Structures are given as structure tokens and as C-alpha cells.
């Protein structure tokens, strides 16, 4: 892939920093240009990292992106969060993914390590380097994603927007129960769990979890793609319709 540097514009006294993403090789140029194209399309959304400029340095394409000062969602999960914060952050993540899906973009690697949260609880979703424009027809069986958050079809090399919905379901399951629905230290065993077994119902772990929240989570984790939400916007609409005050800390249990 490459290196990430914290940079500041030369000759200025500004304390505004940015992030420079530099590929190891010019062979990654096309991938970086694709990421730049995707970031431009997402640029108007407040939860997308802003692309500042694209620079050609020697034979390499360098992306200059906004610097986000914050913690990863994984760090916040490890520290412990109140229900209101969990709901507020998930709602922002969901809105960004729904916006991306509206623009025919799937992220393909949603996980807590790829989500930054500022001190004002503003979410920024990172790493669109593996994202795909679904309007561009290409054939690929490359497995892309992070194992505990990968949908069954993703493991088989067949990503689609519903694969992002699966990852959102894994995240909502984890935020609601403090457990992952599928987990093993052994990669083969983890993949078998995702492909062949159903997760424990969230209410078995947290009896206080609302029945309708459990329904939504389990619909996200349907192995049969035809039974899952096909689009993050559909998930968002169901969540808002079922829990109009989601984000106020009254849905996810303490």
C-alpha cells in the first residue's frame, strides 16, 4: 500500500495539519486515483474525510486529506461508552454508508479501527482505499475486508452493498452486547462460523435488549443476501421508523 505522513503546507504559520498518503510504488497510482475519485463524490458528507488535493510527486500519486484529531471507535469501545454515545456514533456511520450507497459506492472494510471520532463526537469514516464503485463493471474474486466484519459472500470474493450492511450489523451487535457475533483466533474457524453458523441472539447475552432492535440486527446478519437489507438506506429507514429517538440513548441498553 504505502505510507501515511502528517504534513503542513510549507511556508505557512498555520497549525492546520493534513495527512499525506504516499504509495510505495507507482503501481498503486490507479488505486490512489480511484480513492481520490470516490472521496470527491463523498466530499459533501460531514462524516467523510475531505480530500484536499492530489499531487503528482515524481512518478507517484500522493493524496492530501484532512487530518482528523480523534480516537478510533475501537479505542472508545475499549474505554467504554454510554448508550447515548453509542447510538449517536452509529447513526453517523450509518448515514455516511447510506450516502455512499446512494452514490453507488461500497466501502468493503467497515470496522472500528477505520472509524475516527473527534472530541465533539463527530465521526469520520476512513480508508476508502478498498472501496468500490459498483457502477464500474469489473470481475474480481479478491477477498477484501477484515475477517470478523466480513459477510459470507465477501469471504467468497463477492462483495456487494449488502456486505456493508452485514458489517454495520456486526458493529451494532457489538455496540449493543459488547460481544462480536462471530469470533475465533483461528482464521479458518472464524470463516467457518461466518459461513455456517447463526450468531447467538443478542437477547441471550443482554436480556434487556429491545425485541425490535434484535430483529434489525439479525436481519443485517442474514447469511442469505436476499433476506438482508440490500442497501444501508433501507436499514436506516427501518431503524428510524422503529426507533424515532435513536441517538438519545434509549434503545441500546446500559
Read off the pLDDT of residues 45-56 as tens digits, 9 standing for 90 and up: 999 999 999 998
pLDDT band of residue 27 (cuts 50, 70, 90) is confident
Active-site position among 16, 69, 95, 109: 109
The verdict on whether 109 is a catalytic residue reads yes
Reduced to 3 states, what is the DSSP secondary structure of residue 206? coil
CB 110 within 8 A of CB 220: no
pLDDT score, position 162: 97
Assigned CATH for 71-242: 1.10.510.10
CB 110 within 8 A of CB 167: yes
Q: What's the average model confidence in pLDDT over 197-207? A: 97
Phi first, then psi, for residue 110 (nearest 5°) are -75, 130
Place of cell 474505554: 79
Is the full-model pTM beyond 0.75? yes
Q: Domain 2-66 class? A: alpha beta
242 closest CA partner among 234, 230, 231, 253: 234
Cβ burial of 78 (10 Å; 0-12, 13-18, 19+) is: exposed
Distances (CA, A) of 101 to 61, 79, 238: 26, 31, 16
Domain ranges of the chain: 2-66, 71-242
Task: Collect contacts of 134-138 with beta carbons under 8 A, ≥24 apart.
Answer: 134/104, 134/105, 134/106, 134/160, 134/161, 135/104
CB 120 within 8 A of CB 74: no
Amino acid at each position: 500500500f504505502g505510507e501515511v505522513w502528517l504534513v503542513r503546507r510549507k511556508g505557512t504559520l498555520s497549525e492546520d495539519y493534513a495527512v499525506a498518503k504516499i504509495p510505495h510504488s507507482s503501481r498503486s497510482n490507479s488505486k490512489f486515483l480511484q480513492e481520490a475519485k470516490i472521496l470527491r463524490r463523498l466530499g459533501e458528507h460531514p462524516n467523510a474525510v475531505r480530500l484536499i488535493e492530489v499531487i503528482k510527486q515524481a512518478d507517484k500519486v500522493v493524496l492530501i486529506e484532512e487530518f482528523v484529531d480523534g480516537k478510533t471507535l475501537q479505542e472508545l469501545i475499549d474505554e467504554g461508552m454510554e448508550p447515548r454515545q453509542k447510538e449517536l456514533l452509529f447513526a453517523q456511520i450509518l448515514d455516511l454508508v447510506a450516502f455512499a450507497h446512494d452514490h453507488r459506492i461500497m466501502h468493503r472494510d467497515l470496522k472500528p479501527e477505520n472509524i475516527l471520532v473527534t472530541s465533539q463526537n463527530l465521526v469520520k469514516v476512513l480508508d476508502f482505499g478498498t472501496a468500490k464503485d459498483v457502477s464500474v463493471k469489473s470481475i474480481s474474486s479478491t477477498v477484501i475486508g477484515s475477517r470478523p466484519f466480513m459477510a459470507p459472500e465477501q469471504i467468497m470474493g463477492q462483495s456487494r452493498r449488502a456486505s456493508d450492511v452485514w458489517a454495520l450489523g456486526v458493529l451494532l451487535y457489538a455496540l449493543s452486547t459488547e460481544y462480536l457475533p462471530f469470533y475465533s483466533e483461528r482464521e479458518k474457524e472464524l470463516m467457518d462460523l461466518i459461513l455456517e453458523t447463526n450468531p447467538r441472539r443478542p437477547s441471550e447475552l443482554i436480556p434487556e435488549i429491545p425485541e425490535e432492535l434484535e430483529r434489525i440486527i439479525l436481519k443485517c446478519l442474514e447469511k442469505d443476501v436476499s433476506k438482508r437489507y440490500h442497501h444501508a438506506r433501507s436499514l436506516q429507514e427501518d431503524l428510524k421508523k422503529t426507533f424515532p429517538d435513536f441517538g438519545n440513548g434509549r434503545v441500546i441498553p446500559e
